Amino acid sequence: MIFNYSEAITQYGNAYKLKNAVKKGVIFKQEEGIYSTKKREPEVGIIMKKYPKGVLTGEYAFYKHGLTNLLPEKYDLATPAKSAKLKDERVKQIYVREDIFDYGIEEIIENGEKIRIYDKERMLIELLRSKNSMPYDLYKEIISNYREIISDLDIRRIQKYASMFPKKKMITKALDEEVL
């Protein structure tokens, strides 16, 4: 289990007891402000504990959803538009308008840790929106994989998401021509 500093303090009583637990190997310091009951934790769990309001998106979300086998170098993490800049080399911060930020967030449990990620329907809209800014081969791979699972997706949800975003006509047209 992964803890932030305040959770670790609550678990062990105070800073002195936490420091002693780390020395004894009862709990392990993963990085500044992040502790765990295991010696090694998956990096995505640490990232999500460190930035609990962030949401996985972009290429990393496509990877997690099984829509590509290309593991990105950085974690794409969506944050509300007015959020402070994240200073973490492992994270590519994506600022999202606050009125659309919460749509499509789902929480999954991975290795016992809560991961916030946009659902496949939201990610389809994100794919169509970012079509021109991603490598063509990656776009084609992901869109092809979406065609294979389209019957498993909630079409109404996709249409609802498409209507909320800027350039909704372009998104709807691309959806009709490339996926449906």
| 104 plus 35 within the same structural domain | no
Range of the domain at 15: 2-41
| 113 plus 34 within the same structural domain | no
Q: Are the beta carbons of 171 and 131 closer than 8 angstroms? A: no
| 137 plus 168 within the same structural domain | yes
| 88 plus 26 within the same structural domain | no
Task: Tell me the per-residue pLDDT of 161-175, one tens digit each, with 9 for 90 and over.
Answer: 999 988 888 888 888
| 75 plus 141 within the same structural domain | yes
| 71 plus 152 within the same structural domain | yes
Q: What is the mean pLDDT of the segment spanning 124-147?
A: 93
| 30 plus 12 within the same structural domain | yes
The pTM score is 0.89
| 68 plus 84 within the same structural domain | yes
| 140 plus 53 within the same structural domain | yes
Q: What is the tally of structural domains in the chain?
A: 2
Q: State the distance between the two ends of the chain, measured CA to CA, in whole angstroms.
A: 42
Give the pLDDT confidence score for residue 110 in this predicted structure.
87
| 34 plus 70 within the same structural domain | no
| 64 plus 135 within the same structural domain | yes
| 100 plus 173 within the same structural domain | yes
Question: In the 8-state DSSP scheme, what is residue 150?
Answer: G
Residue 179 pLDDT level (bands cut at 50, 70, 90): confident
Task: Tell me the per-residue pLDDT of 95-114, one tens digit each, with 9 for 90 and over.
Answer: 999 999 999 999 999 888 89
Residue 56 pLDDT level (bands cut at 50, 70, 90): very high
> Which sign does the torsion angle of CA 63, 167, 121, 101 carry?
positive
Residue 39 pLDDT level (bands cut at 50, 70, 90): very high
